[in-house]
Amino acid sequence: MKFGVIVFPGTWSDRDCGGVVESLQDQGAELTYLWHRDRDLKGCDCVIAPGGFSYGDHLRAGAIAATSPIMASVKEFAAAGGLVWGICNGFQILCEARLLPGALVRNDVLEFRCVWTHLICERAGTPFTGTLKDGEVVRIPISHNEGSYLADAATLARLERNGQVVFRYADSRGRVRRSANPNGSAHGIAGIVNEAGNVLGMMPHPERASDLLLGGTDGRRMFESILRHRPLPTLVG
């Protein structure tokens, strides 16, 4: 399984994601970095848009990155069924690129939040959550200023109806409560997939919860889920 981690100007979680992939080489993981100005996805099976402040978050978080050359290839890759994973700023980029619905706006507390959160997994059957169970609570940190998920009522209803909400902020017992929501996201949403289930966007950072030295390993399980997923043949060179 070949992972491609995109590098934009201002990206800073690319090496964190890459480090997790490298630690899984004995399980068949392969790593390559993808430069934002290139169009070649280098035969990757899963493309990761990592966290950071791509292009300095000018205009809006993720807005400029969404128009970069590499994203044209990512759109084609996703349309053909390839796995695409946006984390934090990567989630913002996927929304700006219209690979996922909705938008990420300023945290309702009007401050940057960098804390550990509990998430309840509501859809374990995706390529990204195959090692999790429905209703399982995992502990993964956030680090963002514009992480409040927002969408119109019709879009939120469609996401709920189609089972596209993968993670919600919850307390340690899995209860979705306002007190457990760190940024004011609608419906407590922390992560969603597209209708086909091959594109995931999430604000929490699983790469930061992939080693006991960092405080936990729940995030590592998502990388392992992708490794266990049977990839489609290479769709974009």
Is 187 noted as a catalytic residue in this protein? no
Task: Report phi then psi at 74, rounded to 5.
Answer: -65, -40
Q: Quote the Cα angle for 11-12-14, to 5°.
A: 85
- The question of whether 118 is a catalytic residue gets the answer no
Dig out the tokens for 234 from the structure.
């290479």
**Catalytic annotation, pick one of 88, 95, 122, 144:** 88
CB atoms within 10 A of CB 112: 12
DSSP-assigned states of every residue in 64-103? TGGGSHHHHHHHHHHHTT-EEEEETHHHHHHHHTTSSSSE
Question: By CB neighbour count within 10 A (0-12 exposed, 13-18 middle, 19+ buried), where does 209 fall?
Answer: buried
* Region of residue 221 (left: phi > 0; alpha: psi -120 to 50; beta: else): alpha
Is 122 labeled as catalytic in the residue annotation?
Answer: no
Active site residue: 96, 122, 146, 207, which one?
207
Catalytic residue numbers, as ranges: 88, 205, 207
